[in-house]
Structure 1
Amino acid sequence: MAVPEVQRRDPTLNKQQTQHRGPQNGPGPSPRSNRVKLRTLLRVASVACGIQFGWALQLSLLTPYVQELGIPHAWASIIWLCGPLSGLLVQPLVGHVSDRCTSRFGRRRPFILAGATSIVVAVLIIGHSADIGRILGDNGRKKTRAVVVFVIGFWLLDLANNMTQGPCRALLADLTGKDHRRTRVANAYFSLFMAVGNVLGFATGSFSMWYKIFPFTRTSACNINCANLKAAFIIDIVFILVTTYLSLSACSEQSFNSRHSSHCFSEEMSGGSPEHEAFLWELLGTFKSLPGTVWIILLVTVLTWIGWFPFLLFDTDWMGREIYGGKPNEGNSYGMGVRMGSLGLMLNSVILGITSVFMEKLCRKLGAGCTWGLSNILMSLCFLAMLIITACKSSLTIDGHLPPDGIVAAALIVFAFLGIPLAITYSVPYALVATRVEGLGLGQGLSMGVLNLAIVIPQVIVSIGAGPWDQLFGGGNSPAFAVASICAFAGGLVAILAIPRTRVEKSRIHH
């Protein structure tokens, strides 16, 4: 499918780059003189810290919290369905429109700002869902209205996250251009800030005394767990505002020239217009033009996320149920397990951050595909270890007693080691796609949206099937982790055997 002329022009966004550009048909400056400074890339990537702070709270606290509101474990994963569904459409659409955005503020920054604002609104709704439910008529243990408000806020949060992440990745790809090394460095920075956000978010989620520091969060409708959740999201709002400002003020984007409009959404891009239809056809045409290597990357991405999503959904729930033997709203064991799981995820994020620092060296030494494949095999072994820990705990303890210290320590070690493959998952696939689609004439926003399809489709499958699948084998989380281990191992083998090194990687090995 022919790429429209307006798409093939991919203007460099940073003013530093445009100021040093030579004549259009002249030799131009050296690539090194056009490079964006590393500290600029660092600031642009910092928004990932604020986004991931909220994600960490969402991943560690919201699956247990929704069960405390009355949603059965078998249906808890359905609540997460909006994330992949919105990602299926929102990220490619936002990426496509941002590629053509003609706002004087730039192509990506208006979407980042709108997404961050939506995140703030969403977390306020989630944190106050029990209070709003009480105002609307909830009474007693059954909190139907609170669940409805929670789901609305939860789905808005997923929409906002998908609206924000794609343009953030695309902005980094715009700033690094065809410099493959800087593309990997930029994605490593993004992964590093995700790790920092995770550490802070999971640490916040593991602390059980926020309701004392923010006493106004505890109300007649909102118990201690609810008050801690509300306070954590108030802290999240502060992080979002600070990191969004740092990122958006780091550089000045060059707006996409257009004779039709000076806004992101011109008449040509409204619903039902030829431009909107072009997006749908272009997205389908994109798949037809993808080379075999990109299809392999997408396949490995699918297998990787079938592995990751059960863990991201049920990590703290696994700690509360299988390790601590508790149930929501029954005693203190489940809550203790959830907080211990948040501590494990904080350790996970520390390892993720350390791995991000060495990401570039790993990829240069082993090749990006091999690095990704080995990380998937490590992930598979960690999920297998979780199954073994579950079996050992069941045979060593009696119901109603806290687990042995050795079992808890083993679970925390597995959570920590999973930070290594998670860092690589957050970075390497994006760099691989960004460096392999530039010759196709695709905008980076659309290419990130295409990769996101390979992430959200397995998430839809897991969201629909994980709860019923677990229920079929007794109601625990082990069946989903078994499938995750198999898929992660298969993805690792495919990545090692089928993703070739780039010319740059081969030349580095030769020298």
Structure 2
Amino acid sequence: MTTLPLWRVLLSTFCMIGIQFTWTVELGYGTPYLLSMNVSKEVTALVWLAGPLSGLLVQPVIGAISDRSHFRLGKRRPFIIGGSVLVLLSLVCIAYCKEIAGALVSAQRTPSWSIGIAIVAFYVLDFSLNAVQASCRSLILDTFQAQHQDVANAFASNMQNLTNVFGYFIGYLDLVRYLAFLGKTQMQGLCSIGIVVFVISMLVTCISTHETPGSPLDQQLQQRMPVRDIIRYIIRCIRNLPMSMQRLCQVQFFAWMGWFPFLFYSSTWVAGLYYQEHGRHDDSDWEQGTRAGSFALLMYAITSAIAGTVLPSLTYRGLVSLETIFGLSHVVFGASLIGAYWVRSVTAATVIISLLGVSWATAMWIPFALTSDYLKMQAKKDDGDRPDGLVIQDKTIGDNDTGATPRLGYGTSKPASPLSPNDSQGSRSGPSLPIPQSPPPVVTMDVGIALGILNTFIVLPQFVVAGIAALIFWIRHKTVVGGEASSDIDDVQGVAIVLCFGACCAFVAAGLSRRLVPRL
């Protein structure tokens, strides 16, 4: 096995710093920011549908298109650059939505326009950031050989964990007081820092990482797969996933049913508990509550960074399997968060959130490591040496072939491809089924589409969670005793119920983890 230079892993995964810091700004401070603009909790739950919409539509499509792209800059970097431009524009609009609205409309209409601009900007941010993330994840797997991909995935996870520490620490600081030149508000300061971090991290990875040009076979496949058929291609890939990927996707679905309530409402939960203890009288109290939430998330990020360093070393030494750690992490998540409804102090909430850092470290590492292993397992089953691994045999997509049934090429004696790499004369390799016609062309499932499908089962739960959260907040709002109960107390209880729902889903994910296919 060749030695993997540390500097190469660092430079190739450096892009994850900018991505994770931007997610930190949105997930940690987006909800309090919208609430400060008098957006109701029911509406914020619907605003965050931007996440699943973008993940469902963008990541698989970008992964499939980039798998077969042949730009001079490479397969992934053009999408990283294009998405990055939109990320930067959306951050500016979020930070200065009030100023932009004030320049466009009258003072009377400025508040409503500010809300509209912020919501649209969050949607653009989600769509563009998902495109960048899909391309960066694929670039990382493209860059390293199969035996090094576990190390690269773990390193990328650690980069994200350390970025969380940095991001939540920055959010905990009073930026208006200590770094006033960054902006007049905390959100302006966060977005300004986010822009700098994002630009630097993308430049480092794009400049330092070398992409291998696509093979002639990939170019042939690209010609047979026009963009208009990408969606059908993705659906067929999902329908024909091997059992190993199916079970992983099932675990991801319920795991992220638990994660989304936590990611979007944990800081709001802690802030609400702070207001119960100290009251809320003006904007300074609001910022103190938000900073209390930031401190809890900082402790969670530190725990995640430590776990992200310790746990991989246990698996490398063979002390425990990835599947076991993954299952136990869901148990820790559910057991920690199930008592959220009965918590009444900021200290207790901070302890609970800190414990969840262990589970987050595994969520950012193990699914991608398992996906890499499953791709390698499939490649071995096909007796091939193809890095893309999964193979679907089918007629040319785009022809009138609605009756065709694609399938995974499990038992082929040669690599499933239009031209056998072992046939120097260019003769066609035989199909795995005895069809009298000429053998059908092949559609491959590369790294990009595999990660895109995995991400689909991460973002689909958010549709469910957003609807359930909006319903819970609406019911709580309508059932306030006498209509005069403290809104802070009511808000805390509503958020706590949503968090308890997420804990129950984590227990389901823990049970499903027992069915995961063992890795190589």
| TM tier, smaller | 0.7 to 0.9
Once the 2 structures are TM-superposed, how far is the Cα of residue 38 of structure 1 from its aligned partner? 3.5
Specify which of 480, 494, 506 is matched with residue 512 of structure 2. 494
**CA deviation after TM superposition for structure 1 residue 139, in Å:** 2.8
Confirm whether residue 452 of structure 1 aligns to residue 404 of structure 2. no
Counterpart pick for 2:142 among 174, 177, 195: 174
User: Do the aligned partners of residues 74 and 327 (structure 1) sit closer, same or farther apart at CA in structure 2, a change above 3 Å counting?
Assistant: farther
Following superposition of structure 1 onto structure 2, how do residues 107-118 of structure 1 map, counting pairs within 5 Å? Answer: 107-118=75-86
Corresponding residue for residue 358 of structure 2: 420
Residues 321 and 334, structure 1, Cα contact 8 Å, conserved in 2: no
Question: Residue 98 of structure 1: which of 60, 66, 69 is its match?
Answer: 66
Which of 324, 329, 341 is equivalent to 1:375? 329
CA-CA distance at 1:317 after TM superposition = 0.8
Q: Structure 1's 489 and 90: CA in aligned 2 closer, same or farther, altered over 3 A?
A: same
- TM-aligned CA deviation for residue 333 of structure 1: 3.9
- The alignment's C-alpha RMSD in Å is 2.5
Cα distance in 2 for partners of 1:215, 1:335 equals 19
- Structure 1: how far apart are the matches of 2:464 and 2:206? 35
SS class of match (1:255):
coil
Contact 1:51 / 1:197 at 8 angstroms: preserved in 2? no
- Aligned pairs for 1:332-411 (under 5 A) are 332-363=284-315, 364-389=318-343, 393=344, 407-411=345-349
Corresponding residue number in structure 2 for 1:297: 248
2:37 corresponds to 1:69: yes
Distance 2:225 2:136 in 1: 27
Judged with a 3 Å threshold, the aligned counterparts in structure 2 of structure 1 residues 99 and 58 are, in CA distance, closer, same or farther, namely same
The match for 1:307 among 258, 264, 272 is: 258
The 5 A counterparts of 1:279-290 are: 279-290=230-241
Residue in structure 2 matching 1:463, options 466, 470, 492 = 466
Shift of 1:330: 5.3
- Determine the structure 2 residue equivalent to 1:240: 198
Asked if the contact 1:351/1:420 (under 8 Å) is kept, the reply is yes
**Is the Cα–Cα contact under 8 Å of residues 182 and 189 in structure 2 kept in the other structure?**
no
Contact kept, 8 Å, 2:370 with 2:519, in 1: the verdict is no
Sort the Cα spacing of 1:328 and 1:464 in 2 relative to 1 into closer, same or farther, 3 A.
Answer: farther
Determine the C-alpha separation between the residues in 1 that align with 2:56 and 2:82: 19
User: Identity of paired residues, percent?
Assistant: 25
Q: Give, in angstroms, the shift of residue 386 of structure 1.
A: 2.5
Secondary structure of the residue aligned to 1:336 is helix
* Distance (whole Å) between structure 2 residues aligned to residue 229 and residue 290 of structure 1: 42
Q: Are the counterparts in 2 of residues 87 and 162 from structure 1 also a CA contact under 8 Å?
A: yes
Deviation at 1:323, TM superposition (A): 4.1
SS at structure 2 position matched to 1:365: coil
Residue correspondence of structure 1 range 191-340 to structure 2 within 5 A = 191-210=157-176, 213-215=179-181, 217-218=183-184, 227-257=185-215, 275-325=226-276, 332-340=284-292
Structure 1 unaligned segments of length 5 or more: list them: 1-31, 219-226, 394-406, 504-511
2: CA distance, partners of 1:258 / 1:153: 40
Deviation string, structure 1 residues 302-346 (Cα, Å, up to 9, x no partner): 100000000111111111123433898856444322111111111
Q: Distance in 1 between matches of 2:233 and 2:182?
A: 51
Match in the other structure for 1:152: 120
Counterpart in 2 of 1:55? 23
Structure 2 residue runs of 5 or longer lacking an equivalent are: 379-389, 392-444, 478-490
- Counterparts of 1:216 and 1:362 in 2: how far apart (Å)? 42
For 1:362 and 1:494, the matched residues in 2 are separated by: 22
Structure-1 residue corresponding to 2:416 = none
1:274, distance to aligned residue in structure 2 (A): 5.4
Counterpart in the other structure of 2:404:
none
Measured against aligned partners, the alpha-carbon deviations of 1:375-434 in whole angstroms (never above 9, x if no partner) come to: 011011111243331xxx2xxxxxxxxxxxxx3222222221111100100111111122
C-alpha distance in structure 2 between counterparts of 1:408 and 1:185, whole Å:
37
Alpha-carbon distance, 1:62 to partner: 1.3
TM-score norm. by structure 2 comes to 0.79
| Distance in 1 between residues matched to 2:507 and 2:187, nearest whole Å | 35
Corresponding position: 1:163 with 2:116:
no
How big is the shift at 1:366?
A: 2.0
